[in-house]
Chain A
Amino acid sequence: MIAEFDLSRRTALVIGAAGGLGREQALGLARAGADVAIADLNQSGLQATSLAIKAVGREVDVFPLDITVPGEVRAVVDAVEKRFGKIDILVNSAGMTRRGASEDYDQGLFERILDINLNGMFYACQNVGRLMIKRGGGRIINMGSIFSSAGIAESPAYAMSKGAVAQLTKTLAIEWAPYGIAVNAILPSWFDTAMGNVVADREKFYAGTAEVPSSADLAARTTGRVPLRRLGKPPEIVGATVFLASNAASMVTGHLLAVDGGFLAQ
């Protein structure tokens, strides 16, 4: 591995690491040499990720976390600092989405998605940011989406939260640059995960809506619009994550890095 990408002696906290892209990111950071604290609401998923990281030979510890509760976020960040001595890298990968016509979108669902995708991410940035300011530096990687900048019908809460994530990233990047903290975001397209494979899991995404679209219709509206014409494979998120966490990206902050098969270039 080229030295600039080496993450040996770094500690990463990956929130939302029980599955999907968060799990791949935690594993990827471990393979690049980092010790990893992993947090998620889903504890069985956390254990599975923990075993996979142990197999890589890195230190790992699990932290059950409901990211929507500010006090829990603070307690977990404190606990990670106590256990590992520091946090060099924060990856914010917790998220959820549900489809529904905007004009009828349920208030409870709307608030739930904003709580997880946005409020929780802010609490994590704020608490880890305080530690990083004290230590004089760090890397924060927030998971946005192609819908941080493109519009999509029938996903108002998701698109709003991800647009806000882009602004959270830029605002903190500018505000914390003097402390040596870099804040960047990754904007994935649809990936083959429980959250990103809308075609396979369409019943779940469209739960509560009047009509579930056919697989062909959904595929045309999703991967059919990606220049690479396919879902991302979860390991394909790792390169961007390790890069942004590493010295190779030492001049990169406030950036939104699309890992999207060309979607946003259209």
Chain B
Amino acid sequence: MNVRACDFDLSERVALVAGCSEAGVSLALALGQSGAELVLSDSCAGRVQAAQATLEAEGVAAAGIPFQIDGRDDAFELVNRVVSSHAKLDILVNAQEQFLDKPAVDLTTEEWGYSLHVNLKVVFWTCQAAGKHMLARGEGSIINLSSLAASLGFPNSVGFAVSKGGVEQMTRTLGVEWIRRGVRVNAIAGWGEGLRRQLGATGAERIPMGRFANAADLEGTAIYLASRASAALSGQIIHVDGGYSAQ
């Protein structure tokens, strides 16, 4: 395949960005500026509105669906709403995440369960719901937000790290399971807000680039993964980390 700049164009694609985290807002902006029709969702209505305002200030319009996912059926309902209003769903970005900085011995069962719910289970159910729709249409691209904590160990982050490890295996599993039916599943692993905060300024010294990659640094990769330019890519985890994991 000869790739042209136009292959990165996302016009007439409908993208659902689930989770208005720092990365979610950044990736939504990138997809929107590349032409995608955007739908933002989050369990917190205020965060959806704030994300819409941020995008609007950049000249990007986005529909918003405040929506809490407690189980598989909720995720299917969310995707149904997107398909009802926008006729289809081409791109799903799973950007819902929660980081808790706490020693493993002190983590309560509730904190552990909540971390897995937000960072792993909700991501899977949303993949299932979007995947079901995309498989029926024979095309689609799913981008999961992973983290360096999915492959490297960092102290005091066990619930987050374990969930992200699960997200990477989910990405590979769905990636191999669905690619023949036209649906691609990939992930971006970077420095999330939580790790950056936890490691502090001195943590950056060990990064070849000399600084943490931030949410805006993930944008190009998201556009690539969402677009035709990555048509043969599935089940991959792209590390956008300033070279840290290459050491």
Pick the most buried of A122, A133, A163, A174: most chain B CB atoms within 10 A of its CB: A163
Give the A-B pair count, Cβ closer than 8 A: 142
| Residues from 68 to 112 in A contacting B, C-beta threshold 8 Å | 70, 101-105, 107, 110-111
Instruction: Flag if B121 contacts A114 (CB, 8 Å).
Output: yes
Q: Report the bound CA distance from A138 to B164 in whole Å.
A: 26
Cα distance A160–B73 in the bound complex, in angstroms: 20
Q: Which of A119-158 contact B (CB under 8 A)?
A: 119, 122-123, 125-126, 129-130, 133, 147-156
A166 to B154, CA, bound (A): 13
* Residues on B with beta carbons closer than 8 Å to the beta carbon of A170: 152-153, 161
**In this complex, what residue of A is CB-closest to B235?**
A151
Q: Does B50 contact A (CB under 8 A)?
A: no
Question: Would you list which residues of chain A between 136 and 194 have a CB under 8 Å from chain B?
Answer: 147-156, 159-168, 170-176
Find chain A residues with CB under 8 A from B154 CB.
Answer: 171, 174
Q: How far is the CA of A254 from the CA of B235 in the complex (A)?
A: 24
A160/B105 contact (C-beta < 8 A), A110-B124, A153-B177 known? no
A102 near B105: Cβ-Cβ < 8 Å: no
Q: How far is the CA of A155 from the CA of B166 in the complex (A)?
A: 12
**Do A168 and B105 have beta carbons less than 8 Å apart?**
no
Q: CB-CB contacts of B142-183 with A at 8 A, as 1s and 0s? A: 000000011111111110011111111111111111100000
Contact B105 A133 (CB under 8 A): yes
Interface residue B138 (Cβ < 8 Å from any Cβ of A): no
* Cβ contact of A160, chosen from B112, B120, B149, B152, cutoff 8 A: B120
Given contacts A129-B104, A164-B163, A175-B104, contact A103 B131 (CB under 8 A): yes
Interface SS of B by simple majority: helix
Tell me if B25 is interfacial: C-beta within 8 Å of chain A: no
CB of B170 within 8 A of CB of A159, answer: yes
**Do residues B105 and A129 form an inter-chain contact, with CB atoms below 8 A?**
yes
State A26–B135 Cα separation when bound (angstroms). Answer: 45
Majority DSSP secondary structure for residues of A touching B = helix
Chain B residues with CB under 8 A of A125: 104
Beyond A102-B128, A126-B104, A171-B161, whether A153 also contacts B176 by CB under 8 A is yes
**Given A107-B125, A114-B121, A129-B105, residue A171 in contact with residue B169 (CB < 8 A):** no
Among A104, A148, A152, A168: residue with most chain B CB under 10 A: A168
Q: How far is the CB of A101 from chain B (nearest CB, A)?
A: 8
Tell me if A118 counts as interface (CB < 8 A to partner B). Answer: yes
Chain B residues near A164 (CB, 8 Å)? 120, 162-163, 165-166, 169
Contact, CB under 8 Å: A119 / B113:
yes
Residues of A within 8 A of B131 (CB): 102-103
Chain A residues lying within 8 Å of B155, measured Cβ to Cβ, are 171, 174-175
Structural contact, A122 and B162, CB atoms closer than 8 A:
yes
- Minimal beta-carbon separation of B185 from chain A (angstroms): 9
What's the nearest-Cβ distance from chain B to residue A49, in Å? Answer: 28
Q: A186 vs B109: C-alpha distance in the bound complex, in angstroms?
A: 25
Q: Are A151 and B120 in contact (CB under 8 A)?
A: no
Fill in one digit per residue for A6-29: 1 if any B CB lies within 8 Å of its CB, else 0: 000000000000000000000000
State the CA gap A48–B235 with chains docked (Å): 42
Task: Judge whether B128 and A103 touch: CB under 8 Å.
Answer: yes
A189 to chain B, nearest CB (A): 16
Verify B174–A156 contact, CB threshold 8 A. Answer: yes
* B197 proximal to A (CB < 8 A): no
28 CB contacts below 8 A, A to B, read A102-B128, A103-B131, A103-B135, A104-B128, A107-B72, A110-B72, A122-B112, A122-B162, A126-B104, A151-B169, A151-B176, A159-B172, A160-B120, A160-B166, A160-B169, A161-B166, A163-B150, A163-B165, A163-B166, A163-B167, A165-B165, A167-B149, A167-B151, A167-B161, A171-B155, A172-B158, A175-B155, A175-B156
Interface residues of B (CB under 8 A from A): 71-73, 103-105, 107, 109, 112-113, 116, 120-121, 124-125, 127-128, 131-132, 135, 149-158, 161-178, 235
A: residues with CB less than 8 A from B are 70, 101-105, 107, 110-111, 114, 118-119, 122-123, 125-126, 129-130, 133, 147-156, 159-168, 170-176, 254
